[in-house]
């Protein structure tokens, strides 16, 4: 909602530079960044990881580590913040500028109740008695639409769901009526339906508090949904800026264009794509779930937890099945069961023609050689103490397929296939970027030329442009090797790009499955409909329409 008349400028940033001292040299993280935020306006700072967007925002608050040097000018309501004494800056933080962090679980202190943390923020900046502060805190929790505010006041962060935690975080942030709210990827860690709720909340708060919001994000859908104006950053430089409409409709800078092109789009019913005819395979399925239930066994006093139940679906050779659902829906559980990492409690599961329902380590061996898995977190899925060449070669070595020179040659071949330079084989995981690590993950999964590849949210930790390239690579490899792929994701747009068929999961059960177009363009189940409606599309006009349609319901 761009404000028609020019209102008061809250924050004016001119020529902001941030450099980091590393080992005797200063490295620039942000170069001459300038922008301004008006009252009641949302400014989105967009960029990929390492672009300096978070660094610039933290520099506004003086929250950078000691090896950072900030120069330029940051004026909040005409008052210069750079070069302010630490104690003066502290009174600005929280009171005039508040921050909402990405991960509410780590941003909230786990040993104190939510109420305590709100009261603490209130009493730091205002002269309040404990009872007054408590009343105000409950008031704030009601304001952020927390269910049952009085009870939530006494709850610890771990007793709340992800969305509720983020609400509590927002309650702390708005406790002192800040004039400027910095939201650093506030919805990245949340499911789409929860994300939609949090964005609605932020929008209504902006109107009620009449403050400005700086939204840092990499999600173009969120930008289209929330922002009035956009600054695009790349390598520490603000390469493009303008109103949201300008940026989306007629981007001028090449990088902005590339960024927008890389965003996967969820195609709506009206713009139905001419999908390739669904290959109905009469071959035996590579992966077949028959009425499967999976339980996490009870441990000590914690009772057994049934993560999935009544699961029946097939994945045929050469096709990609998208398994979608929100966190806790049991989709990762199915992926892990498919490669034999979790035992099946009921029903039967067969992988590449072998029934692994009750198989133990020995029975799984033939299956291991024909399956591969790409994990979600590229930071954790490679052994940090091993050069990546060794990680890629391990399945080959263990299967006894290759040794010595032969093994080296096979590893080089695999690196070639995932388009990584051969020199990378002696590098360690920490030297690679997320996208490169994920390529290594694929190379390892494909080492034994498997018949089934399970990809567990392989792109959720990647930037959009990297994600686009990764998806292309995956498709290319599938065309070449013809493996069956179970692609697990929470991102419907990614699944739309890749999958032939889709299985939707909710609370451990399959609610709907079928061909891609049937599920995404004509969903029958109310949960699927809700899921699709909540996905923000990277188009401001269309997104507003969708939002209004959603709220009207």
Partner 1 sequence: MTRGTRPPMPEPAPSIVEETNENAIALKEIEGLGQAQIVRRRFFRHRGAMISLVVLVVIVLLAFTSVGFVIGDWQVGGWWQYNWVTAVAIENGGMPTIDFARFTFGNHPFGQDEIGRDIFAVVMRGTQQSLMIMVIVGFIGTVLGTVVGAVSGYYRGGIDGTLMRFTDIVITIPVIVIGAVLGRTVGIAGAPVLALILGAVVWTGLARLVRGEFLSLREREFVDAARVAGASDGRIIFRHILPNAMGVIIVNATLLMASAILIETGLSFLGYGVQAPDTSLGKIVSENQVAFATRPWLFWWPGVFIISIALCINFIGDGLRDAFDPRQKRMPSAKNMARGNATGAAS
Q: Does 28 bind partner 1 (CB under 8 A)?
A: yes
Q: Of 113, 381, 467, 528, which one interacts with partner 1 (CB under 8 A)? A: 381
Q: Of 41, 48, 228, 500, which one interacts with partner 1 (CB under 8 A)? A: 48
Q: Does 411 bind partner 1 (CB under 8 A)?
A: yes
Q: Which span sits near partner 1 by CB under 8 A: 66-74, 350-358, 509-517, 534-542?
A: 66-74
Site for partner 1 in 295-334 (CB under 8 A): none
Q: Of 12, 69, 82, 475, which one interacts with partner 1 (CB under 8 A)? A: 69
Site for partner 1 in 187-246 (CB under 8 A): 235
User: Do the strands 452-456 and 305-315 form a parallel or antiparallel pair, or are they unpaired?
Assistant: unpaired
Q: Does 422 bind partner 1 (CB under 8 A)?
A: yes
Nearest Cα to Cα of residue 13 among 34, 29, 32, 30: 34
In whole angstroms, the minimum distance from the beta carbon of 266 to partner 1 comes to 25
- Cα-flanking dihedrals φ and ψ of residue 277, to 5°? -55, 130
Q: Which span sits near partner 1 by CB under 8 A: 64-72, 208-216, 225-233, 484-492?
A: 64-72
Q: Of 304, 398, 449, 541, which one interacts with partner 1 (CB under 8 A)? A: 398
Q: Which span sits near partner 1 by CB under 8 A: 119-127, 143-151, 249-257, 395-403?
A: 395-403
In whole angstroms, the minimum distance from the beta carbon of 265 to partner 1 comes to 23
In whole angstroms, the minimum distance from the beta carbon of 279 to partner 1 comes to 27
State how far the alpha carbon of 373 is from the alpha carbons of 98, 141, 467, in Å. 41, 42, 17
In whole angstroms, the minimum distance from the beta carbon of 346 to partner 1 comes to 23
Q: In which order are the strands placed within the sheet that holds 68-76? A: 79-80, 68-76, 9-22, 25-38, 237-243, 229-234, 42-47, 212-217, 180-184, 97-100
In whole angstroms, the minimum distance from the beta carbon of 70 to partner 1 comes to 11
* Rounded to 5°, angle at Cα 357 from 353 and 359: 90
Can you tell me which residue has the tokens 């590449």? 352
DSSP-derived letter for residue 302 is: B
Q: Are 110 and 117 in contact (CB under 8 A)?
A: no
Pattern 333-372, partner 1, x by CB under 8 A:
---x--xxx-----------------------x--xx-xx
Q: Does 30 bind partner 1 (CB under 8 A)?
A: no
Cα–Cα distance, 31 to 432 (Å, whole number): 24
Site for partner 1 in 110-169 (CB under 8 A): none
The H-assigned helical ranges of 339-484 are 361-368, 388-398, 404-417, 434-445, 464-481
Pattern 7-26, partner 1, x by CB under 8 A:
----------x-xxxxxxxx
Helix (H, G, I), strand (E, B) or coil at 550: helix
Can you tell me which residue has the tokens 């949090």? 198
State how far the alpha carbon of 535 is from the alpha carbons of 340, 431, 520, 538, in Å. 32, 34, 11, 10
């Amino acid at each position: 909602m761009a404000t028609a008349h020019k209102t008061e400028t809250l924050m004016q940033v001119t020529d902001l530079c941030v450099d980091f001292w590393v080992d005797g040299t200063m490295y620039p993280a942000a170069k001459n960044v300038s922008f301004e935020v008006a009252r009641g306006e949302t400014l989105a700072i967009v960029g990929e990881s390492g672009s300096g967007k978070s660094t610039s925002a933290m520099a506004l608050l003086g929250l950078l580590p000691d090896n950072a040097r900030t120069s330029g000018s940051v004026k909040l309501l005409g008052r210069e913040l750079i070069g302010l004494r630490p104690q003066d800056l502290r009174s600005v933080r929280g009171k005039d500028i508040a921050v909402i962090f990405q991960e509410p679980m780590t941003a909230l202190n786990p040993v104190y109740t939510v109420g305590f943390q709100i009261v603490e923020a209130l009493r730091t900046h205002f002269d309040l008695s404990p009872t007054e502060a408590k009343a105000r805190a409950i008031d704030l929790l009601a304001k952020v639409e927390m269910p049952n505010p009085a009870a939530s006041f006494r709850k610890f962060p771990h007793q709340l769901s992800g969305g509720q935690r983020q609400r509590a975080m927002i309650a702390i942030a708005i406790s002192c009526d800040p004039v400027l709210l910095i939201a650093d990827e506030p919805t990245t860690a949340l499911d789409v339906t929860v994300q939609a709720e949090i964005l609605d909340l932020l929008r209504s708060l902006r109107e009620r508090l009449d403050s400005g919001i700086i939204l840092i994000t990499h999600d173009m859908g969120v930008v289209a949904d929330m922002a009035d104006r956009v600054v695009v950053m790349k390598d520490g430089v603000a390469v493009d800026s303008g109103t949201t409409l300008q940026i989306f409709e007629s981007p001028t800078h090449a990088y902005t264009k590339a960024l927008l092109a890389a965003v996967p789009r969820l195609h709506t019913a009206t713009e139905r794509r001419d999908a390739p005819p669904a290959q109905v395979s009469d071959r035996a399925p590579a992966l077949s779930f028959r009425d499967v239930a999976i339980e996490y066994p009870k441990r000590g006093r914690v009772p057994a937890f049934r993560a999935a139940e009544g699961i029946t679906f097939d994945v045929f050779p050469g096709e990609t099945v998208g398994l979608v659902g929100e966190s806790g829906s049991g989709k990762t559980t199915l992926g892990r069961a498919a490669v034999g990492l979790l035992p099946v409690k009921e029903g039967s599961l067969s992988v590449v023609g072998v029934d692994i329902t009750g198989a133990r380590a020995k029975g799984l061996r033939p299956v291991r050689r024909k399956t591969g898995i790409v994990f979600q977190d590229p930071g954790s899925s490679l052994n940090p103490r091993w050069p990546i060449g060794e990680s890629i070669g391990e399945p080959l070595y263990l299967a006894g397929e290759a040794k010595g020179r032969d093994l080296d040659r096979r590893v080089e071949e695999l690196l070639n296939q995932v388009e990584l330079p051969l020199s990378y084989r002696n590098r360690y995981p920490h030297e690679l970027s997320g996208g490169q690590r994920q390529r290594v993950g694929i190379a390892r999964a494909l080492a034994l030329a498997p018949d089934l590849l399970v990809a567990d949210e392989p792109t959720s930790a990647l930037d959009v442009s990297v994600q686009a390239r990764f998806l292309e690579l995956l498709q290319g490899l599938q065309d070449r090797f013809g493996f069956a792929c179970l692609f697990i994701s929470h991102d419907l747009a990614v699944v739309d790009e890749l999958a032939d068929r889709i299985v939707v999961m909710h609370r451990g059960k399959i609610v709907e499955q079928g061909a891609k177009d049937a599920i995404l363009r004509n969903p029958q189940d109310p949960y699927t409909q809700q899921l699709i409606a909540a996905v923000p599309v990277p188009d401001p006009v269309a997104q507003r329409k969708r939002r209004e349609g959603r709220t009207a319901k």
